[in-house]
């Protein structure tokens, strides 16, 4: 019988101050320090006969194609496996450096900074990945109070956390691969400190001796907008502790034992047409209409929604004036381990589409992970498209093209 092997490490990759933070078009100023460390976490599952899969999660707004290539190569060198066996996921914190990936969308212009990328790549490549035998088990748990649909409280939202636990043969918890869907936007545009936001607080609270890899779910329209009680470090701690407490409770209950085999990975690439954008004059008219709708302070969720719609209108105007390619090539992957499948997409998927993929999957347990192996913006549902939400205004894809993406993901799950 094969033996499942784990190598896991969490690296502090926090850059020095003085660099631009990513995530908010309204943010001005450079990073002045660190609220909590940014981490690159690697969880590698394999056997003696198979390279398996290495999940790498990075505290970043996104991982662009160039950064993915560099990180997957570096992680492959550290583990001695092909880069094709590495998936690179971003936590989507809005308090990480812009210079790792550079511009992810015309909404927030940014440049890649080699002086930031080189230490990150070097740290990953030189990581010590020592394998040990482990037993794998699966749990999922409902988490209330961290996030909701950010357009309406009762809107679609997967409030379950997926928890892959990896115990040493002596029963010690060695690592957790955790996924949950909610924007890490506790800190707002005024923040100038590096932070992993609530995912970092959750990792710490789960246990200082446990390597916790965090993967962001179908969080395109999910955030703490209606749940947060502030925007500082105390609120980051409170939300992260809520998630960690539910995960810890789940760990005290028996889980679904998974077979001692290496995870398998399947990949495909889907070419998607970029949607037709309004003309420049039409885009400016939409900006003017959105401007008229903003009144009051941003602490009011309704005002925040109006402000983000204005941000989206301005972003669409930038897209209309840019030279966008006619098509974009999106990498998709599916990782399977026993009854569990993770489908990885390089987009901010709306929650209802995550539910669709789970319902159409032939696997007993399917987790939908976004922000992986690239970044191609929001994938919005018909309701958002009809109402012209922030995300719908800056998406690259119309609804027929969105269905093509979902079909490709569903087919890969069924392959």
pLDDT reported for residue 298: 57
pLDDT reported for residue 148: 97
Write out the two tokens for 270: 């889907």
pLDDT reported for residue 1: 61
Contact criterion met (CB below 8 Å) for 260 and 1: yes
Contact criterion met (CB below 8 Å) for 199 and 185: no
pLDDT reported for residue 257: 98
pLDDT reported for residue 299: 61
| pTM for the whole structure | 0.94
pLDDT reported for residue 297: 61
pLDDT in tens, 202-234: 999 998 899 999 999 999 999 999 999 999 999
State which residues of the chain have pLDDT below 50. none
Contact criterion met (CB below 8 Å) for 390 and 314: no
Instruction: Give residues with Cβ within 8 angstroms of 375, minimum separation 6.
Output: 62, 63, 64, 90, 101, 104, 346, 347
């Amino acid at each position: 019988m094969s033996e499942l092997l784990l190598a896991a490490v969490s690296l502090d990759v926090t850059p020095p101050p003085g660099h631009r933070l990513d995530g908010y078009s309204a943010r001005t100023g450079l990073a002045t320090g660190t609220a909590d460390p940014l981490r690159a976490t690697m969880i590698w599952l394999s056997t003696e006969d198979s390279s398996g899969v290495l999940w790498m999660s990075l505290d970043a707004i996104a991982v662009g194609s160039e950064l993915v290539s560099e990180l997957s190569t570096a992680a492959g060198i550290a583990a001695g496996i092909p880069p094709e066996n590495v998936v690179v996921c971003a936590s989507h914190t809005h308090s990480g450096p812009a210079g790792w990936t550079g511009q992810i969308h015309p909404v927030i212009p940014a440049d890649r900074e080699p002086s930031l990328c080189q230490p990150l790549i070097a740290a990953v490549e030189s990581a010590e990945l020592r394998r040990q035998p482990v037993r794998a088990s699966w749990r999922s748990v409902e988490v209330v109070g961290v996030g909701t649909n950010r357009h309406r409280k009762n809107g679609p939202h997967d409030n379950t956390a997926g928890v892959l636990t990896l115990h040493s043969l002596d029963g010690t918890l060695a690592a957790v691969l955790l996924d949950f869907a909610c924007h890490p936007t506790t800190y707002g545009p005024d923040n100038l400190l590096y932070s992993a936001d609530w995912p970092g607080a959750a990792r710490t609270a789960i246990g200082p001796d446990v390597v916790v890899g965090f993967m962001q779910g179908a969080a395109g329209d999910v955030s703490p907008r209606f749940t947060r009680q502030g925007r500082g470090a105390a609120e980051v701690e409170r939300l992260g502790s809520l998630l960690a407490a539910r995960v810890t409770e789940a760990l005290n209950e028996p889980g679904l034992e998974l077979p001692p085999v290496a995870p398998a990975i399947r990949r495909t690439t889907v070419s998607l047409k970029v949607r037709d954008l309004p003309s420049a004059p039409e885009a400016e008219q939409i900006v003017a209409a959105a401007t008229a709708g903003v009144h009051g302070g941003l602490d009011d969720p309704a005002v925040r929604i109006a402000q983000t719609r204005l941000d989206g209108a301005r972003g669409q105007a930038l897209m209309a004036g840019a030279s966008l390619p006619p098509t974009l090539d999106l990498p998709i992957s599916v990782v399977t381990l026993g009854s569990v499948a993770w489908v990885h997409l390089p987009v901010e998927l709306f929650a209802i589409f995550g539910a669709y993929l789970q319902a159409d999957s032939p696997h007993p347990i399917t987790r939908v992970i976004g922000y992986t192996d690239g970044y191609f913006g929001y994938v919005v549902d018909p309701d958002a498209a009809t109402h012209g939400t922030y995300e719908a205004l800056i998406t690259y894809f119309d609804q027929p093209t969105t269905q093509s993406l979902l079909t490709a993901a569903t087919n890969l799950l069924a392959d």
